[in-house]
């Protein structure tokens, strides 16, 4: 960390000097850019420890202060378990510099201006040494930036920054936090992050109701969920892309909902930002009105590794890799299918009440035949008032019975006389979306997966463009990458850096018996040990996920009503489909657990 911080310190001094040497009209010189030197920080922390020592001497006296002082250094987290005064100063210094030292590994979105990006040097800016003296070669001063050249040449239009279309002097860039110009490009960090993780953006929209008992197929609703269920039974007057009026059921609205990534602009987006804002507003409104998902979340936790996806629920994690497990695209040929209209549309949830259905049919026809937008609004409102009144006036027993009937008619599949339930379903008229069922929730899920690094880079570029246009960053992009760069990952990067390795060889290895400097053999050993730690940390999360998958499989087999898992020759197997009532088992003789684990550890 001290090596990295020293580089950041020197670069920050250079950046401040260049900034002040290239002031644009109206700009003032700054002295708040440069970091403090390591020596300055050590002096400051030395004073902190000395002040503590003086305070303990005054409180405990010369006879007793040492014991209390040493105990505080070793137990107070501030001093990181220091054994003595020198180590306390070292630890305090380390803690202060750590964030800045890690800057090249921490990408961020940076708001700036086109003026700053295109700022030109008004005169030659010369190279200087550590003491601020200009560097000469053969009697000639060495030029760092020539007059008329861009001062901030690390900005690359359409690559690491975009202008705001509505105000083209505003821009947003995607850079690391480093002061070192050669380390501002986050591409290397992105590549290592991609290579180390199976990455997903999951859009998960929670529907009202949950399968409280997979054995009895009991469905439960709380008050909020009941209100959303009733809203889904209603109808909506909306305009299609051709501005034609439509009267759509709640399920038809659900089927039009896209993945969260679809509601944000890309550099090739044909829609204006104002239209995108309208679409985002409509999406959030429908989420808030028809589902249990908060609209401002867009139904996503953003960019996640598969290990993190599993933390949201075993079924969600398993669903996101199910196509890889089956080795084919998910569709109605290898999944049971549900029709949301059969669950939610009032037309399909009416009870044996001919007069109620007749009234509903008359009101729906009137709404569809409305002659104006206002007429359609009024008649749809009347239709929905009838639906709400009818459903809210049902007794709890009647509503519970209706709920179980509506869901189980779609979720329970009769195969050879056996009623089976899946954890994942294809959805009719909603390609690339799946209904995922757990004991906690029933949700529509859509997956954005990244099959190549170029594919991932395009996602990063699109997110940067969207943020530059003033859209909310919901994809957790800089944060997800930054959080993955822990001490061991950073060390792995540095041990592949030739300059750092050369620097390390000039330092004494504190673990060597003869107090020799680090050797190639020492560095190779550190690399191996560090790689083992990284693999071990990943394995911990994978083991948790393996355990949750095994529990899900075992519980499915105990219930004896699983569409996805069965037993053949005493081994738990994955069912990839049915030939009539005969299950087709995936693979040759591999267990369900083995096939799933193979996918989970593939990256």
- CA 199, CA 271: separation in Å to the nearest integer? 28
- CA 591, CA 567: separation in Å to the nearest integer? 9
Mean per-residue pLDDT, 271-289: 93
Task: Determine how β-strand 199-207 pairs with β-strand 300-305.
Answer: antiparallel
pLDDT of residue 351: 65
pLDDT of residue 515: 84
Mean per-residue pLDDT, 390-404: 88
- CA 543, CA 558: separation in Å to the nearest integer? 22
214 pLDDT above the threshold of 60: no
Domain segments of the chain as ranges: 199-455, 542-600
Between 173 and 127, the more confident residue is 173
HSE-CB at 549 with a 13 A cutoff on CA atoms is 31
Spatial contact of 512 and 522, defined as CB atoms under 8 Å apart: yes
Three-class HEC string of 163-218:
ECCCCCCEEEEEEECCCCHHHCCCHHHHHHHHHHCCEEEEEEEEECCEEEECCCCE
Spatial contact of 367 and 247, defined as CB atoms under 8 Å apart: yes
- CA 466, CA 462: separation in Å to the nearest integer? 6
The rounded mean pLDDT for the chain is 92
215 pLDDT above the threshold of 60: no
Percent of the chain at pLDDT above 90?
A: 75
- CA 500, CA 522: separation in Å to the nearest integer? 14
- Classify residue 162 by its DSSP letter: E
- Classify residue 73 by its DSSP letter: H
Mean per-residue pLDDT, 74-83: 93
Spatial contact of 364 and 378, defined as CB atoms under 8 Å apart: no
Tens-place pLDDT, residues 408-460: 889 999 998 899 999 999 999 999 999 999 988 999 999 999 989 999 999 99
51 pLDDT above the threshold of 60: yes
Tens-place pLDDT, residues 334-381: 899 999 999 999 988 876 788 888 999 999 999 999 989 999 999 999
Between 126 and 193, the more confident residue is 193
Burial 258-291 (b: 16+ CB within 10 A, else e): ebbbebbbbeebeeebeebbeebebbbebbebbb
Spatial contact of 556 and 315, defined as CB atoms under 8 Å apart: no
pLDDT of residue 489: 95
Mean per-residue pLDDT, 306-330: 92
211 pLDDT above the threshold of 80: no
- CA 591, CA 585: separation in Å to the nearest integer? 10
């Amino acid at each position: 960390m001290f090596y990295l911080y020293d580089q950041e310190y020197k670069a920050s001094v250079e950046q401040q000097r260049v900034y002040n040497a290239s002031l644009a009209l109206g700009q003032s010189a700054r002295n708040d850019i440069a970091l403090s030197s390591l020596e300055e920080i050590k002096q400051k922390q030395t004073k902190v420890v000395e002040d503590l020592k003086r305070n303990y001497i005054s409180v405990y006296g010369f006879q007793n202060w040492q014991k209390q002082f040493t105990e505080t250094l070793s137990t107070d987290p501030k001093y990181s378990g220091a054994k003595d005064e020198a180590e306390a100063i070292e630890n305090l210094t380390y803690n202060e510099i750590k964030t800045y030292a890690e800057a090249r590994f921490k990408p961020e979105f940076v708001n700036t201006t086109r003026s700053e990006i295109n700022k030109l040097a008004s005169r030659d800016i010369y190279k200087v040494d550590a003491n601020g003296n200009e560097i000469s070669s053969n009697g000639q001063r060495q030029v760092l930036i020539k007059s008329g050249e861009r001062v901030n040449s690390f900005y690359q239009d359409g690559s690491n920054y975009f202008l705001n279309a509505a105000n083209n002097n505003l821009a947003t860039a995607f850079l690391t936090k480093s002061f070192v110009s050669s380390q501002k490009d986050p591409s290397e960090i992105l590549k290592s992050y991609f290579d180390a993780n199976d990455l997903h953006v999951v859009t998960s929209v929670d529907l009202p109701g949950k399968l409280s008992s997979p054995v009895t197929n009991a469905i439960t609703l709380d008050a909020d969920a009941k209100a959303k269920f009733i809203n889904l039974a209603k109808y909506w007057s909306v305009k299609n892309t051709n501005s034609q009026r439509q009267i759509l059921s709640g399920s038809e609205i659900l089927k039009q909902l896209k993945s969260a990534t679809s509601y944000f602009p890309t550099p090739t987006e044909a829609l204006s930002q104002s239209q995108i804002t309208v679409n985002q507003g409509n999406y959030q409104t429908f989420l808030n009105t028809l589902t249990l998902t908060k609209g401002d979340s867009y139904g996503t936790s953003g960019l996640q590794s598969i290990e993190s996806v599993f933390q949201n629920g075993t079924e969600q994690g398993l669903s996101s890799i199910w196509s890889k497990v089956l080795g084919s695209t998910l569709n109605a040929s290898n999944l049971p299918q549900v029709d949301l209209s059969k669950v939610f549309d009032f037309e399909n949830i009416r009870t044996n009440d001919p007069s109620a259905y007749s009234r509903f049919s008359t009101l729906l026809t009137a709404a569809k035949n409305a002659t104006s937008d206002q007429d359609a609004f009024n008649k749809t409102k009347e239709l929905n008032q009838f639906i709400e009144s009818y459903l809210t006036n049902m007794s709890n027993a009647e509503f519970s019975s209706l709920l179980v009937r509506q869901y189980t008619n779609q979720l329970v599949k009769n195969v050879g006389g056996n009623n089976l339930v899946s954890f994942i379903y294809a959805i009719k008229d909603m390609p690339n979306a799946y209904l995922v069922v757990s004991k906690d929730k029933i949700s529509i899920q859509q997956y954005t997966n990244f099959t190549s690094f170029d594919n991932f880079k395009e996602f990063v570029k699109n997110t940067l463009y969207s943020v530059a246009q003033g859209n909310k960053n919901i994809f957790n992009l800089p944060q997800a990458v930054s959080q993955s760069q822990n001490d061991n990952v950073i060390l792995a990067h540095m041990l592949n850096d030739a300059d750092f390795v050369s620097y390390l060889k000039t330092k004494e290895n504190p673990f060597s018996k003869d107090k020799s400097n680090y050797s190639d053999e020492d560095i190779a050993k550190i690399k191996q040990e560090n790689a083992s730690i990284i693999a071990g940390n990943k394995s911990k999360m994978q083991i948790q996920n393996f355990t949750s998958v095994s529990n899900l499989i075992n519980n499915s087999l105990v219930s004896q009503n699983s569409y996805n898992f069965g037993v053949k020759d005493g081994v738990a197997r994955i069912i990839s489909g049915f030939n009539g009532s005969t299950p087709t088992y995936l693979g040759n003789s591999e267990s369900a657990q083995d096939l799933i684990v193979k996918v989970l550890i593939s990256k």
